């Protein structure tokens, strides 16, 4: 029983459903109406709502992970919304690192109101410059000189008095105190003259004894006074130091008086200035000494003695500005956390607090920091360091090598800075799901997910919004004006990019690429605006650049290296359709599917799975069609069939269930021996009840088969059978639409297996009557009868084998 042409025509997809044209643009849509901000991007309400919610909740853990495909300008929208919120907030404080005079290895971090950090740094620099001149000048004052002279005279008088009293004591005993190059000597005198040894020996024994006793006693007194001299000198130096400190203290106090008044509202700064004042007083000598060292190799910049009072302005914000919004494109450890730099001095690496550099985590403190998830996760130590900072709510600048104990040299340990920042991590969905599953701390730190849609509904409002977006991107890239027809063509292409006539792709990067390339072709022809032909040239040029693999497959088919029939009929053979995805380019091509059947035990062999070329989803599809076969045609008898299905000349992996309708039709053709028309191709998945289900890549599949038929010559018999549920996804090239209009090519949409059988075989599939029987001569009747014969033969064979065993 054959199917009439009228019956087959009932399944033909109307021409208007093959490509949904873009209606004329709304009157108000023009370049002047272009979207001014990223927040007006199409129908991303869910993501926008999530971002705004996260930005408004000032609680721990309410950081955001932005999910979505690469190229959808997620970071642009996130940055725009963060900026919108930041403008409602004040600028965060400035942060400075200063010397810790008590422990230089642990520099202090000082907080100042926004904008005052720069002034504080400059004030301290001016203070040092003034001190360099004011302190030495104070020591040149006449008052200081008089006090210094008096102190020197007093000290000299004390020493002189010590020696004078000793001499008087010695003179009373007739002894003189003499100073020689080798030290002090005590000698007896007579008539004011020192006597020599001979004269001393001539003295009476009693006199000699007295003189010796006196010299011994005076020697002890002399030694005592010599030992007391350092104490006198120390006392003198201490009094001199006190005098110098008193002069310095007075000078520094005057210098700092205005500065302390200026920062009277900042207790931390006042405490630091007190420390500066005390250190300057204690190191007054450094301000007075201007001569360099005597050894040339020890020479250093005279200004280095004043570096201890410099201010390292690590984070500076402008007063009255909004909170910072920073996108860190290269989130390495040092870029994100910060670092302590070193310099070489005399063959050694040295550092100080002035070489501390803040990372973007501190630069964005009090605001918003945007990071790329993949880059954060692939940079060493960054992910763990970021989590540690968020948990501790502070940033400690240190080398990761120090954290791991790899560095033995002494380094700085700067005081940690309190952290209050909103982190926005931007990544693909699979990264978010992996982190949620395997990093238990992730969900605690990133409580908000902003999920971007890959596409949006193609409503009238969204089409107008998309046109405004196109004009916005044209203006952003400073391109030539686009005609309305060119914009309409682009809108249609965005639906095609989404793979759905009722949706529009939100992939902004590919939109920008199309606009730039269309602008190029318009400029090549010296046009003043971009027209539809330029958009078409851009699309065709992009396709041509990626078409090498597709062209090789087409050539192989045309040269009969890959066997694909597009005419005639064949039992157990059907043209399936496959899609190859090369990343930036997807294309479809036909593949021959064959099936063979014989008496067996009820199994359908998927050869692709047996040789480990078939994926799990493809194997699932084969198992479903095996179940559909048995429940539909052998519900009351054992399925005594052995069938095998294979993708011919397929040498790579095969996955997906989009060929299950074609596979089942090939299997039924083999069972019933009803041939399948080779001028048609088929795609679609099937469930156990025979319902044909939608598949992906339907446009690419149709276009791939059309290209083969076009090159061989369209004769009106060629076409493709697709699921009815895929009709809404059709956005075919205009070339195919024109061919369908001319009745040289056809697209058939089916809901059930029987409809696919009717089109592919040209024979009536048949429906069960009231008695549960398929009509005589239909495809389904032939399948059922053949399966019953298989069951009978299997039973007969089993009985024969059993009798043979008994006879033995």
Catalytic residues: 658, 701
CA dihedral 108→111→112→115, nearest 10 degrees, is 100
Euclidean distance between CA atoms 529 and 523, whole angstroms: 8
- Helix (DSSP H) and strand (DSSP E) numbers for the chain: 28, 30
If we measure between CA atoms, which residue out of 642, 627, 604 comes closest to residue 791?
A: 642
If we measure between CA atoms, which residue out of 307, 327, 303, 323 comes closest to residue 315?
A: 323
Sign of dihedral through CA atoms 528, 529, 532, 536? positive
Kindly list the distances between the CA atom of residue 96 and the CA atoms of 115, 272, 431, 600, 668, in Å, as whole numbers in the listed order: 12, 12, 37, 84, 80
Bridge partners of 319, per DSSP, are none
Euclidean distance between CA atoms 226 and 203, whole angstroms: 31
Euclidean distance between CA atoms 104 and 257, whole angstroms: 26
Q: Which residues are CB-contacts of 515 (< 8 A; sequence separation ≥ 6)?
A: 470, 473, 474, 477, 479, 482, 490
If we measure between CA atoms, which residue out of 591, 558, 587 comes closest to residue 574?
A: 591
Q: Look at strands 448-451 and 64-67 and give their pairing.
A: parallel
Produce one character per residue of 227-262: b if its CB has 16 or more CB atoms within 10 Å, e if not. Answer: eeeeeeeeebeeeeeebbbebbbebbeebbeebeee
Q: Is 391 left (phi over 0), alpha (psi -120 to 50) or beta?
A: alpha
Query: Residue 82: helix, strand or coil by DSSP?
Result: helix
Let me know: does 538 contact 766? Beta carbons within 8 Å: no
Q: Give residue for tokens 């002090």.
A: 184
Q: Which residues are CB-contacts of 407 (< 8 A; sequence separation ≥ 6)?
A: 399, 401
DSSP states of 213-275: HHHHHHHHHHHHHHHHHHHHHHHHHHHHHHHHHHHHHHHHHHHHHHHHHHTTT-HHHHHHHHH
Q: Which residues are CB-contacts of 67 (< 8 A; sequence separation ≥ 6)?
A: 427, 428, 429, 432, 449, 450, 451, 452
Which token pair is 227? 């030992």
Distance, first Cα to last Cα, the chain: 50
Euclidean distance between CA atoms 362 and 359, whole angstroms: 6
Taking the CB of residue 290, how many other CB atoms lie within 10 A of it?
A: 10
Sign of dihedral through CA atoms 502, 505, 506, 511? negative
If we measure between CA atoms, which residue out of 62, 82, 74, 60 comes closest to residue 325?
A: 82
Bridge partners of 312, per DSSP, are 97
């Amino acid at each position: 029983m054959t199917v009439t042409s009228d019956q087959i025509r009932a399944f033909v997809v109307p021409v208007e459903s093959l490509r949904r044209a873009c209606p004329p643009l709304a009157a108000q849509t023009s370049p002047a109406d272009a979207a001014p901000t990223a927040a007006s991007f199409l129908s991303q309400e869910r993501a926008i709502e999530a971002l705004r919610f996260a930005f408004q909740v000032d609680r721990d853990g309410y950081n955001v992970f932005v999910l979505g495909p690469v190229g959808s300008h997620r970071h642009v929208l996130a940055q725009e919304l963060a900026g919108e919120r930041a403008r409602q907030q004040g600028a965060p404080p400035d942060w400075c690192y200063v010397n810790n005079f008590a422990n230089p290895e642990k520099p202090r971090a000082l907080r100042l109101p926004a904008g005052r950090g720069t002034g504080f740094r400059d004030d301290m620099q001016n203070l040092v410059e003034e001190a360099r001149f004011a302190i030495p000048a104070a020591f040149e004052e006449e008052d200081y000189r008089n006090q210094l002279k008096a102190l020197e005279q007093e000290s000299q008088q004390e020493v002189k008095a010590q020696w004078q009293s000793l001499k008087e004591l010695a003179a009373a005993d007739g002894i003189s105190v003499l100073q020689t190059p080798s030290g002090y000597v005590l000698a007896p005198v007579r008539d004011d003259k020192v006597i020599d040894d001979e004269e001393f020996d001539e003295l009476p024994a009693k006199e000699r004894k007295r003189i010796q006793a006196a010299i011994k006693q005076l020697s002890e007194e002399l030694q005592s006074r010599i030992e007391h001299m350092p104490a006198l000198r120390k006392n003198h130096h201490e009094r001199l130091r006190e005098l110098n400190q008193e002069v310095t203290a007075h000078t520094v106090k005057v210098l700092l008086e205005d500065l302390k008044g200026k920062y009277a509202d900042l207790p931390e700064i006042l405490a630091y200035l007190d420390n500066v004042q005390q250190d300057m007083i204690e190191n007054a000598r450094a301000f007075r000494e201007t001569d360099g060292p005597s050894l040339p190799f020890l020479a250093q910049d005279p200004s280095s003695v004043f570096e201890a009072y410099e201010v390292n302005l690590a984070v500076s914000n402008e007063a009255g500005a909004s909170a910072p919004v920073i996108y860190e494109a290269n989130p390495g450890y040092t870029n994100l956390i910060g670092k302590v730099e070193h310099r070489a001095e005399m063959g050694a690496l040295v550092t100080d607090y002035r070489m501390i550099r803040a990372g973007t985590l501190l630069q964005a403190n009090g605001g918003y920091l945007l990071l790329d998830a993949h880059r954060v996760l692939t940079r060493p130590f960054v992910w763990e360091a970021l989590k540690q900072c968020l948990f501790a709510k502070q940033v400690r600048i240190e080398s990761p090598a120090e954290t791991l104990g790899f560095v033995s040299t002494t380094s700085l340990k700067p005081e940690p800075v309190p952290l209050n920042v909103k982190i926005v991590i931007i990544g693909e969905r699979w990264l978010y799901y992996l982190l949620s599953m395997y990093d238990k701390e992730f969900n605690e730190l990133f409580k908000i997910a902003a999920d971007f849609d890959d596409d949006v509904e193609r409503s009238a409002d969204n089409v107008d919004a998309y046109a405004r977006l196109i004009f916005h991107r044209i203006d952003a890239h400073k391109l030539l004006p686009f005609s309305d027809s060119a914009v309409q063509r682009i809108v249609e292409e965005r639906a095609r990019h989404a793979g759905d006539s009722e949706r529009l792709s939100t992939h902004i990067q590919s939109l920008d690429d199309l606009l730039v390339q269309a602008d190029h072709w318009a400029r090549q022809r010296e046009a003043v605006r971009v027209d539809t032909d330029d958009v078409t040239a851009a699309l065709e040029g992009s396709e041509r650049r990626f078409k090498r693999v597709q062209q090789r497959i087409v050539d192989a088919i045309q040269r009969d290296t890959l066997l694909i029939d597009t005419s005639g009929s064949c039992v157990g053979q059907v043209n399936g359709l496959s899609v190859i995805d090369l990343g930036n380019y997807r294309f479809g091509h036909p593949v021959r599917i064959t099936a063979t059947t014989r008496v067996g035990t009820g199994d359908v062999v998927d050869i692709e799975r047996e040789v480990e070329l078939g994926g799990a989803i493809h194997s699932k599809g084969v198992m479903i069609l095996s179940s559909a076969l048995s429940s539909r045609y052998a519900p009351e008898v054992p399925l005594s069939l052995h069938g095998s299905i294979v993708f011919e000349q397929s040498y790579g992996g095969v996955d997906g269930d989009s060929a299950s309708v074609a596979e089942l039709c090939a299997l039924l053709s083999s069972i019933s021996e009803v041939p399948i028309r080779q001028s048609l191709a088929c795609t679609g998945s099937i469930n156990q009840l025979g319902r044909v289900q939608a598949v992906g890549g339907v446009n690419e599949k149709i276009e791939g088969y059309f290209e083969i038929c076009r090159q061989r010559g369209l004769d009106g018999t060629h076409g493709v059978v697709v699921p009815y549920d895929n009709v809404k996804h059709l956005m075919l090239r205009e070339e195919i639409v024109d061919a369908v209009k001319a009745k040289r090519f056809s697209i058939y949409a089916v809901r059930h297996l029987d409809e696919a059988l009717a089109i592919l075989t040209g024979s009536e599939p048949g429906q069960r009557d009231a008695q549960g029987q398929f009509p005589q001569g239909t495809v389904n009747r032939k399948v059922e009868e053949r399966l019953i014969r298989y069951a009978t033969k299997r039973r007969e064979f089993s009985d024969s084998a059993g009798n043979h065993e008994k006879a033995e």
